[in-house]
Structures are given as structure tokens and as C-alpha cells.
Amino acid sequence: MVNSKPFRDIEGFSLFGKPLFRIPLVSEIYNMQQKYYDKALSDYKKNSKDAENIIWLGRRTAYLGRMREAIAIFTEGITQFPEDARMYRHRGKRFITLRQFNLAIDDLQKAAQLIEGQQDEIEPDGIPNERGIPVSSLYSNIWYHLGLAYYLKGNYEDSLIVYIKGLDALSLEDNYVACAHWIYMILRLLEREEEAKKVLQKVNKDMDIIEN
């Protein structure tokens, strides 16, 4: 009989057809993430109809490397809250992790449609930085990951348009650097050298960068 245990940790497959195994976490990080997961699971069991509980259970599951399970949780969230852009944003990100770029684009485009005319909101970090200051928002995360999905598909023009939107979504310098990095690379790939140089003009050593 074939031992199926080694295959249980396969989350997906690379673009070259090789299995993507769940990456084991060092014990200190694993224990911390497991504790947060247990809390999220407890909250979810108390109220599985709460959107925040679904989102955090999905996020905490993904931080443990269980991407397929996280996608299933966000799918449940979409079923319950089909107009909540956050569900599509988080599921789309995890589709990128599993190299399912078309599905990611579908989700993130849907999220972008749902936020039209809505007020942006700062997203709390699942893994806080040293200062404990969140550096991204719902808008900026949707545009960032949609741009990334387009880029990984080789759709550079679409990626550029989206990253420019992401650049304007949040005034934090971390957000500028995150989006400008991709805009610069895309412009170089498109051989638009002068435009690429202009993107870097705002980047300097005095910027207050927390994460990027």
C-alpha cells in the first residue's frame, strides 16, 4: 500500500508541476501562531456567522501554512457575505500563494468592484511589525495583490495600471515603496526607462519605512 502521509502537506503545485509542500515553521513561531489560531477557532465556534471571526480564522489558518483550508474558510465567508470585499481580497491572496493566478484575478477584481464608493479602512496586521503600526489598508491590499497576480501572469500593462491605483490608495511611505518597486520593474520590462527613473525620485534614505 502506498504511504499517503508525505502527500498530506502538499498545498498545490508550482508552474513547473512540482508539489508545493507546506513549509514547517520554527517551533517558536509555530507555537505563537497556533495560540492565535486556537483563539480564532474558539471565536468562530462561538459565532460562525460573524464576518470578522471568519476572516481571522482564515488568516490564522493561512499563517500556519494550511492554504487550501484557508481558501475553504474564505469561500464559506463569501457564501455568507457575498458583498464583503474582504473575503475576496483574502481568498485572492491565497490563490496567488497556490499559483492559481486566474482565480486570484477573479477574486481581486470582484473585491475591487465591491469597494467602489466605499470608505477605505486600515487593515489590522496578523503579524504586527516592531512598532505595532499597520501599514496597509483594504484598498491598498486589493490593488497590491491584483497587480501582483497580473504581473505573475505576464500581463504587465494591466499590472501597471493597478499598481498606480495602489500607489494612490494610501499615503504611507511604506505603501509608496511597496507599489513603486513593482511599477519600476514593470516600466523597465516595458522599456520605458525615463518613466522608471521618475518613480525612484521620491525614494530616499530619510523615508520612514517600517516594513518594506
Give the pairing of strands 10-13 and 19-21: antiparallel
Helical pair 85-97 and 101-114, crossing angle rounded to 10 deg:
160
Residue type for position 9: D
The domain of 30 spans 8-117
The CATH number assigned to the domain holding 157 equals 1.25.40
The CATH number assigned to the domain holding 34 equals 1.25.40.10
pLDDT on residue 5:
52
**Do 32 and 110 fall into the same domain?**
yes
Close Cβ partners of 82 (under 8 Å, ≥ 6 residues apart): none
Residue 20's beta-bridge partner residues? Answer: 12
pLDDT on residue 1:
44
105: part of which helix (H) or strand (E)? helix 101-114
Cα gap 63→34, rounded to integer Å: 9
Residue 23 has pLDDT above 60, yes or no: yes
pLDDT on residue 2:
42
Please state, for a pLDDT cut of 90, what percent of the chain lies above it.
Answer: 80
pLDDT digits (tens, 9 = 90+) for 86-134: 999 999 999 999 999 999 999 999 999 999 999 999 999 888 888 888 8
Cα gap 196→182, rounded to integer Å: 10
pLDDT digits (tens, 9 = 90+) for 153-176: 999 999 999 999 999 888 888 899
Output the average pLDDT for the chain.
Answer: 93
